[in-house]
């Protein structure tokens, strides 16, 4: 069988000009296949006399022999072995060149021995070593300021790296933790020895306590009965500890209970920490959670995890409750809101840039009421979803019971604004369902803190009942009401009923008629009359007592109100609104 003709691959000019038909007998020195890297090592020896080699493109010539289908299995096996040897020779040649410190070719570039530093090699090699992460516990440190990471709450280990296992965080020391661990281990050994020495195992399961158990129970009962007195010195010590460390330490519990219960609690803490460590929960998942908790603990500067302040318009307001803002905003101690579109931002700079571009100067929707500088806008939750969601998130900062944040499409929002040359500034709002099964005329109501105690709350309530009158319905607010909301509604119902009774001249009165004329639910009327002491039951009938002193007090209070409060009254003639059930379908 004739020998196959080989193509000699080289980076030198001689190899490029060769015809590929010469046999190995004519050139016995070329016993191995030459490559670009092996040729580069030979060329580097004559680097001082030869010019810098240019990068040449190697063109592979097609094989002259027959197709692969004509090759026998023996030839294919020999070709595979030859290819493996060539790859091994390439790797050896590269390692040898690097170890000898000679000039090296990387992709046609030549580097001298003087330039052979680690930086150049790392810049030319294609693969770099991946840095390994050290997960050894001794390489980590406790995040608590002032802690040297020595000791462990369980007493079993010499170091710690989390707040859960930090002795200093739990107001103890490493020596005390170690002493408790030794005492706990001794108690466990004693118990095992007692169980091992017991011959009759059934005697341990008897219902009647033994003498030793009775003695121990009596001892524990006596120890628990010795509760320390919480004196003013103890209170002052706890107060100073709280002022000094805040949330960076566990609160003091000394002097609050008996010594037995105190030691029992300490032992439970240590055993829980030891159990978590023994289960390996610190290794990955629990360790990550603990690390995230400690990082959050450090980043929030020992403060409660919620938004503390809110800047809207020219007001900076302290918030009352938490609100489900996105996490990147909930971490901030203060957020900034555009008072027109209610978009929330992180910094004052972003707010300033937003205000320069924001085109809104009033809430979206239709203006249905205007008198003086007071306006009401009806905003559909389906048409202006983002605005209504932002409004609900804002309200949650001041309402504890609010649960609706994002599902705003079934609701209508009525936003009250105070107008000036710069725009319509939000004062408060209330929302109501488009189709309420229980005829609630208010689902949520809020007056912003900067506008409280100025009469705006009663205007919101009065406006909600005005809409109920236009709908020819009797309404009531959705329960539960907040504390401030209940006070506002009680005050409004009282004023409306006293004013109605003052103008009423008849001898008999019907609760149903009062409900129809005022649009207030009959149950709310009855509860208000009972609170005023004006509803009595006599001889099988309910009587409404017209207390003139209460009416006179109401009239006197009404007359003594400042002019600002006198002007803050809803005028039904200024309402330009058609109820939903009377509106025609859009063409």
Active-site positions read 478
Q: Give the chain's length.
A: 587
Closest Cα partner for 443 from 390, 484, 482, 398? 482
**Measured over all CA atoms, what is the biggest interatomic distance in the chain, rounded to whole angstroms?**
137
Rounded-to-integer distance, Cα 244 and Cα 567, Å: 51
Pick left, alpha or beta for residue 72 (phi over 0 → left; psi -120 to 50 → alpha; otherwise beta): beta
Pick left, alpha or beta for residue 181 (phi over 0 → left; psi -120 to 50 → alpha; otherwise beta): alpha
Listed in sequence order, the DSSP H helices in 282-436 are 285-299, 327-330, 348-357, 385-396
Provide the β-strand partners of residue 447: 428
Closest Cα partner for 150 from 180, 185, 176, 184? 176
Q: What distances in angstroms separate CA 529 from CA 466, 475, 526, 539, one per listed residue?
A: 22, 18, 5, 19
Give every CB contact of residue 562 below 8 A, 6+ residues apart in sequence: none
CA atoms within 13 A on the CB side of 418: 13
CA trace torsion 164, 167, 171, 173 (10° rounding): 170
C-beta neighbour count of 71 within 10 angstroms: 15
58 alpha-carbon distance from chain centroid: 59
DSSP H or E run through 376: strand 374-380
């Amino acid at each position: 069988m004739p020998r196959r003709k080989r193509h000699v691959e080289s980076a030198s000019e001689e190899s490029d000009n060769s015809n590929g038909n010469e046999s190995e007998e004519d050139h016995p020195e070329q016993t191995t296949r030459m490559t670009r890297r092996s040729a580069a090592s030979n060329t580097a020896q004559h680097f001082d006399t030869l010019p810098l080699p240019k990068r040449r493109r190697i063109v592979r010539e097609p094989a002259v022999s027959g197709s692969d289908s004509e090759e026998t299995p023996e030839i294919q096996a020999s070709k595979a072995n030859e290819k493996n040897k060539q790859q091994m020779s390439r790797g050896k040649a590269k390692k040898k060149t690097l170890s000898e410190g000679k000039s090296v070719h990387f992709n046609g570039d030549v580097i001298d021995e003087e330039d052979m530093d680690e930086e150049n090699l790392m810049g030319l090699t294609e693969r770099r070593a991946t840095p390994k992460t050290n997960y050894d516990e001794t390489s980590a440190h406790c995040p608590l300021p002032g802690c040297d990471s020595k000791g462990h709450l369980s007493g079993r280990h010499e170091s710690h790296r989390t707040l859960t296992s930090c002795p200093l965080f739990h107001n103890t020391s490493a020596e005390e933790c170690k002493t408790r661990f030794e005492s706990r281990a001794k108690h466990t050994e004693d118990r095992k020895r007692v169980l091992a020495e017991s011959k009759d195992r059934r005697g341990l399961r008897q219902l009647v306590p033994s003498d030793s158990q009775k003695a121990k129970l009596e001892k524990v009962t006596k120890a628990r009965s010795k509760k320390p007195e919480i004196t003013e010195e103890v209170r002052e010590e706890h107060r100073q500890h709280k002022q000094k460390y805040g949330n960076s330490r566990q609160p003091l519990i000394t002097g609050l209970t008996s010594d037995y219960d105190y030691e029992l609690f300490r032992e439970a803490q240590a055993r829980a920490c030891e159990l978590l460590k023994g289960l390996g929960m610190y290794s990955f998942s629990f360790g990550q959670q603990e690390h995230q908790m400690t990082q959050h603990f450090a980043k929030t500067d020992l403060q409660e995890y919620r938004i503390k302040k809110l800047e809207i318009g020219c007001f900076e307001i302290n918030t009352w409750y938490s609100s489900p803002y996105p996490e990147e905003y909930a971490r901030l101690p203060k957020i900034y809101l555009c008072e027109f579109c209610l978009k929330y931002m992180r910094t004052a700079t972003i707010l300033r840039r937003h205000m320069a571009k924001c085109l809104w100067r009033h809430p979206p929707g239709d203006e249905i009421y205007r008198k003086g500088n007071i306006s009401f806008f009806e905003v559909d939750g389906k048409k202006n979803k983002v605005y209504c969601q932002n409004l609900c998130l804002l309200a949650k900062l001041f309402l504890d019971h609010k649960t609706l944040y994002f599902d705003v499409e079934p609701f209508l929002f009525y936003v009250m604004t105070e107008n000036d040359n710069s725009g319509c500034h939000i004062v408060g709002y209330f929302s109501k369902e488009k189709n309420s099964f229980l005829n609630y005329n208010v689902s949520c109501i809020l007056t912003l803190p900067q506008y409280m105690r100025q009469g705006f709350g009663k205007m919101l309530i009065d406006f909600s009942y005005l809409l109920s009158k236009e709908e020819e319905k009797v309404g009531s607010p959705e329960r539960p009401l907040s504390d401030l909301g209940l006070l506002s509604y009680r005050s409004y119902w009282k004023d409306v009923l006293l004013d109605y009774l003052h103008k009423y001249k008849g001898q008999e009165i019907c609760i149903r008629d009062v409900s129809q004329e005022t649009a207030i639910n009959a149950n709310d009327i009855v509860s208000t009359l009972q609170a005023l002491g004006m509803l009595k039951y006599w001889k099988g009938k309910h009587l409404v007592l017209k207390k003139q002193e209460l009416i006179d007090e109401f009239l006197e209070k009404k007359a003594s109100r400042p002019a600002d409060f006198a002007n803050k009254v809803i005028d039904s003639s200024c309402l330009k609104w058609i109820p939903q059930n009377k509106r025609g379908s859009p063409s």
